[in-house]
């Protein structure tokens, strides 16, 4: 970054400090990951200079030969990877992708059946504070007493509420969804099906879990998280919804796409087709299961009874008497990044909830396996149990740094 260093030393130093933070710590926020050097290089390219409103072959500005080529390549790779009939790679992120999808098939006031935030859903799945909840009528389903989705109750809700759209997907739920049951329930009530796979897209691409694309009308996702691409969004759908989705993206919701991001996405989608990525996806599941087992040994209460994907939701307040916020701060002090998170029907406030969410995607990218996961579980337990003891936290911090040196971010 010699040019940046010369032109703006302050920004250069901030970036280098963030690079150091990432190198010396363990990223365990479930929605974060590390991209490859190739993706980083593709993200910072001359396409950032280019305006490309419209779609390949149908742009509103000239000079689009290579913008068309790279967007078409990203679409082609996404179709192959997920078996999708139609793909739009222009959404700027996951939340806009969801809003776009709603606007493509719903009218204001239409009803949507989505997952409750405190039971693992996402803000954009109908939480009252969001803009989409002011436009559409969201009703929310929850998990049962066993911590899993009760599909019989979901069917009863669907028959009673008669939603226009049934939405699957989550941001903190840790169990595998039954795609066929969502499809069957939707057919019974004549609803459109949609799934948000933002968290599990990489596990699907790596063939570690079942692919939901054949079962749903509309599929939205982010392109980072487990997919290890740049920060962006993507919408896949059946051909019958293709025109509506494309019009909803542009001109309905966005202007010019970020072609530099789409170029980086094309690289990531190419990487996800390789055998190494499949091994990576399988290792994520192994690491998450070991983390679950180890944390249970330390007395942590695991929400939803365990995990079938890349993350865990812990009730740290119920397990250790430490709030989610206190646990997040303690872990940050030892160099492990997690996020505080509400648990089902949490009685504590969202900014100081009972739980924390932990993911293993990023540390798996750094080649850490079961042996390292056991060490990390020990550190998590020690940090939370000693969250007020700065001396003990400082000691653990040095242990974390030592491990990180063995697994450099970019070799």
- Is 196 part of the annotated catalytic residue set? yes
Class of CATH domain 280-406: alpha beta
- Is 222 part of the annotated catalytic residue set? yes
Q: What is the pLDDT of residues 159-202, one digit of tens each?
A: 999 999 999 998 889 999 999 999 999 999 999 999 999 999 99
Q: Which residue from 353, 304, 356, 349 is spatially nearest to 330, judged by alpha carbons?
A: 356
Give me the pLDDT at residue 309, please.
96
Catalytic one among 220, 221, 222, 364? 222
- Is 223 part of the annotated catalytic residue set? no
Q: What is the pLDDT of residues 17-57, one digit of tens each?
A: 999 999 999 999 999 999 999 999 999 999 999 999 999 99
Band (pLDDT 50/70/90 cuts) for residue 125 is: confident
Catalytic one among 27, 71, 196, 217? 196
d(CA 7, CA 12): 9
Report angle CA 105, 200, 148 to the nearest 5 degrees. Answer: 85
Q: What is the pLDDT of residues 79-113, one digit of tens each?
A: 999 999 999 999 999 999 999 999 999 999 999 99
Catalytic one among 59, 140, 175, 225? 225
- Is 352 part of the annotated catalytic residue set? no
Pick the CATH number of 40-271 from 3.40.50.970, 3.40.640.10, 3.40.50.880, 3.40.50.12780: 3.40.640.10
- Mean pLDDT confidence for 370-396: 98
Catalytic one among 59, 140, 175, 231? 231
Matching residue, tokens 């007020």: 388
Q: Classify residue 3 as left (phi > 0), alpha (psi -120 to 50) or beta.
A: alpha
Q: What is the pLDDT of residues 245-303, one digit of tens each?
A: 999 999 999 999 999 999 999 999 999 999 999 999 999 999 999 999 999 999 999 99
Catalytic one among 23, 32, 53, 110? 53
User: What sign does the CA torsion over 326, 332, 334, 336 have?
Assistant: positive
For the chain, the structural domain boundaries read 40-271, 280-406
Catalytic one among 12, 24, 50, 51? 51
H helix intervals, 191-315: 201-205, 242-247, 259-271, 275-297
b or e along 7-41 (b: 16 or more beta carbons within 10 Å of the residue's beta carbon)?
eeeeebeeeeeeeeebebbbbbbbbbbbbbeebee
Q: Which residue from 307, 351, 348, 312 is spatially nearest to 329, judged by alpha carbons?
A: 351
Provide the whole-model pTM. 0.95
Band (pLDDT 50/70/90 cuts) for residue 144 is: confident
Q: Do domains 40-271 and 280-406 have the same CATH topology?
A: no
Cα dist from 368 to 88, 274, 373, 374, whole Å: 34, 19, 7, 11
State the chain's mean pLDDT as an integer.
Answer: 96
């Amino acid at each position: 970054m010699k040019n940046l260093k010369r032109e703006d030393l302050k920004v250069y130093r901030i970036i280098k400090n963030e690079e150091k933070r990432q190198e010396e710590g363990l990223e365990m926020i479930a929605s974060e990951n590390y991209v490859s050097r190739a993706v980083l290089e593709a993200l910072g390219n001359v396409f950032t200079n280019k305006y490309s409103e419209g779609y390949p072959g149908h742009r509103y500005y000239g000079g689009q030969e290579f913008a068309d080529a790279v967007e078409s390549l990203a679409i082609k790779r996404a179709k192959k990877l997920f078996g999708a009939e139609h793909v739009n790679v222009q959404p700027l992120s996951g939340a806009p992708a969801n809003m776009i999808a709603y606007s493509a098939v719903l009218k204001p006031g239409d009803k949507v059946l989505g997952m409750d935030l405190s039971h693992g859903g996402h803000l954009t799945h109908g939480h009252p504070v969001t803009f989409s909840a002011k436009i559409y009528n969201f009703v929310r389903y929850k998990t049962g007493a066993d911590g899993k989705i009760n599909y019989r109750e979901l069917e009863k809700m669907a028959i009673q509420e008669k939603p226009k759209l049934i939405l699957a997907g989550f941001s903190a739920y840790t169990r595998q969804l039954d795609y066929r049951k969502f499809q069957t329930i939707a057919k019974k009530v004549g609803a459109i099906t949609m799934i948000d796979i933002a968290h599990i897209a990489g596990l699907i691409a790596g063939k570690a879990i079942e692919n939901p694309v054949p079962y749903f009308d509309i599929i939205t996702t982010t392109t980072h998280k487990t997919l290890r691409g740049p920060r962006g969004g993507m919408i896949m759908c059946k051909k019958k919804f293709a025109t509506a989705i494309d019009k909803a993206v542009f001109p309905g919701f966005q202007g010019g796409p970020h072609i530099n991001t789409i170029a980086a996405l094309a690289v990531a989608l190419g990487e996800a087709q390789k055998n190494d990525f499949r091994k990576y996806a399988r290792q994520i599941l192994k690491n998450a299961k070991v983390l679950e087992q180890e944390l249970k040994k330390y007395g942590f209460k695991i929400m939803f009874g365990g995990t079938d994907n890349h993350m865990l939701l812990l009730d740290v307040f119920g397990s250790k008497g430490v709030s989610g916020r206190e646990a997040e701060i303690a872990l940050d002090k030892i160099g492990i990044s997690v996020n505080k998170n509400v648990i089902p029907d949490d009685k504590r406030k969202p900014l100081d909830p009972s739980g924390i969410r932990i993911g293993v995607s990023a540390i798996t990218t750094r080649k850490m396996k079961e042996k390292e996961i056991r060490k990390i579980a020990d550190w998590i337990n020690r940090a939370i149990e000693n969250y007020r003891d700065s001396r003990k936290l400082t000691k653990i911090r040095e242990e974390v740094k030592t491990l990180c040196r063995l697994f450099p971010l970019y070799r």
